[in-house]
Chains A and B, each alone.
Chain A
Amino acid sequence: MSSTSHDQLIHGLAADLKPVNRLRRPVLRALTWLAVVGAIALALAAFANDNAMWERITAAPDLWLAVVGSTGTAIFAAIAAFELSLPDAPRAWALLPLPVAIVWIAASGLGCLRTWIAPQTHVATLGEARDCLIFIVALSVPLSALLFMMLRRAYPLNLGLTAAMGGLAVAAAAATLLNFFHPYDAAATDLAVHAVAVAIVIAANSALASRIFRTALPPADVTAGGVGTN
């Protein structure tokens, strides 16, 4: 390879140049995705028994802490995913959702002791827990599709890390929305199923990272009027 081949490549790239929309700030793009999640939450709230959900969540501190943890994880993991999707982003963004994720895991983990602390509570059966798994995985598919469609507009160089953060955001959002249809007290089996569901979503997103991000997608062209914001 020589300077001639560089010249040829540069000439080819310049010939291929089209105006592009400059991407908005990652936080704003993350908020757009979170707004869609919020809209889904409002739609689900219309069908759910909100009073029963509120009573259940406020009954024990670990339950509302788990909801706060999963919501925070969804928000911070989404911001981290959009930041990491930039080619020059520091990898340290992956640490952003870590504190709230620890709160989520720790508060959920307390549920393992529930049957020992309060034996009279209604614990989800294996069949009911399976419904939770289906709900989380099924809701994760459209949320992942939207998130990765947005992430692809940038050009991440950390494919695995970006996809894993995206997967964490999606799984945490789905786990948060599950609370609308979750009339059980968290127990060991239920939590194990939740953990499996979250792991499936993160693993699937990570495994598909290179296919999702490296399928040819030209930068967004501008129809007219030069560079705007996207």
Chain B
Amino acid sequence: MTPWVQSNVMALSRRGWLLPPQFPSMATGYGRVGKLRMVKADPQNRSADDLRRSAQMAAAQAGDRAAYEALLRDCVPLIKVIAARQGIPPDHIDDVVQDVLLTIHRARQTYDPARSFTGWLRIIAERRAIDLLRRLGRQRAREIHSPLAFESYADEGSDPTRSGRAAAAANRVHTVLAQLPERQREAVELLVLQEQSLAEAAIATRRSKGALKVNLHRALKGLRGMFAEKD
């Protein structure tokens, strides 16, 4: 197929004039009948598939789980075709499918069985596909896809001198902590280094939460002074 023919086929397909042969009922419904009026579909003009789906949806509205499950499974390939026709990238088509299935579930009380189910589904799927395209557009405007930059970014953890520096810093902290009064040192060890809650530390030390807060506050003030002196 030449590019010219291919582009025209795609354009016709986007307008809904070329529909997949496996979904002839997609041409029926009210979607293209009028801009303002949603005309009720004439049962004479509706395909057997569409009438079956309408009946399944009506049964689902009454609480028939088996009919509902069968209907949703039947919808998946239709949604995929509609999403692809809207220009959704292949790796995002499943996102549209899930969005549409959730929308059908939440909006099922709005469906009128006198109307074409396939037409109702098609409009919802088209709108969900457009929503996704907008989301992707916003995402691309904000984020940069650069796998090479990610791969070449240096891992800080791979620095061989890092463990030595960390050990020196830990020694320094322990030396300074040893100079604190016992109650203040205990408060720092439990609340900061061991990340215990105030309640846990209060049980462990048999002190009130208020007393622990005061101890911690004084300890941090003292530590700031000691580090300032050393620097």
A154 within 8 A of B: yes
Q: Is A157 a contact of B94 with CB atoms below 8 Å?
A: no
Residue of A nearest to B115 (CB): A88
Q: Is B63 a contact of A23 with CB atoms below 8 Å?
A: no
Q: Give every chain A residue within 8 A of B7 (Cβ-Cβ).
A: none
Residue of B nearest to A216 (CB): B106
Q: Is B61 a contact of A5 with CB atoms below 8 Å?
A: no
Q: Is A16 a contact of B38 with CB atoms below 8 Å?
A: no
Q: Is B95 a contact of A1 with CB atoms below 8 Å?
A: yes
The dominant DSSP class at the B interface is: helix
Q: Is B65 a contact of A15 with CB atoms below 8 Å?
A: yes
Q: Give every chain B residue within 8 A of A15 (Cβ-Cβ).
A: 65
Complex CA gap A23/B73 in Å reads: 25
Residues 34-67 of B at the A interface (beta carbon under 8 Å) = 34-36, 38, 58, 60-66
Q: How far is the CB of A209 from chain B (nearest CB, A)?
A: 15
A99 within 8 A of B: no
Residue of B nearest to A155 (CB): B107
Q: Give every chain A residue within 8 A of B35 (Cβ-Cβ).
A: 90, 92
**B85-122 interface code vs A (CB 8 A; 1 in, 0 out):** 00000000011011001110111111110000001100
Q: Is B120 a contact of A88 with CB atoms below 8 Å?
A: yes
Q: Is B101 a contact of A219 with CB atoms below 8 Å?
A: no
Complex CA gap A86/B119 in Å reads: 14
A20 within 8 A of B: yes
Complex CA gap A10/B160 in Å reads: 51
Q: Give every chain B residue within 8 A of A96 (Cβ-Cβ).
A: 36
B81 within 8 A of A: no
Q: Is B36 a contact of A219 with CB atoms below 8 Å?
A: no
Q: Is A17 a contact of B63 with CB atoms below 8 Å?
A: yes
Residue of B nearest to A85 (CB): B110
- Residue in B58, B76, B107 whose CB lies within 8 Å of A87: B107
| Known contacts A87-B103, A87-B127, A19 near B72 by CB under 8 Å | no
Q: Is B105 a contact of A16 with CB atoms below 8 Å?
A: yes
Q: Is B112 a contact of A22 with CB atoms below 8 Å?
A: yes
Q: Is B68 a contact of A22 with CB atoms below 8 Å?
A: no
Q: Is A18 a contact of B110 with CB atoms below 8 Å?
A: no
Residues 65-85 of B at the A interface (beta carbon under 8 Å) = 65-66, 68-69, 72-73, 76
Q: Is B36 a contact of A93 with CB atoms below 8 Å?
A: yes
Q: Is B69 a contact of A157 with CB atoms below 8 Å?
A: no
- Residue in B94, B111, B131 whose CB lies within 8 Å of A6: B94
Q: Give every chain B residue within 8 A of A87 (Cβ-Cβ).
A: 103, 107, 110, 123-124, 127
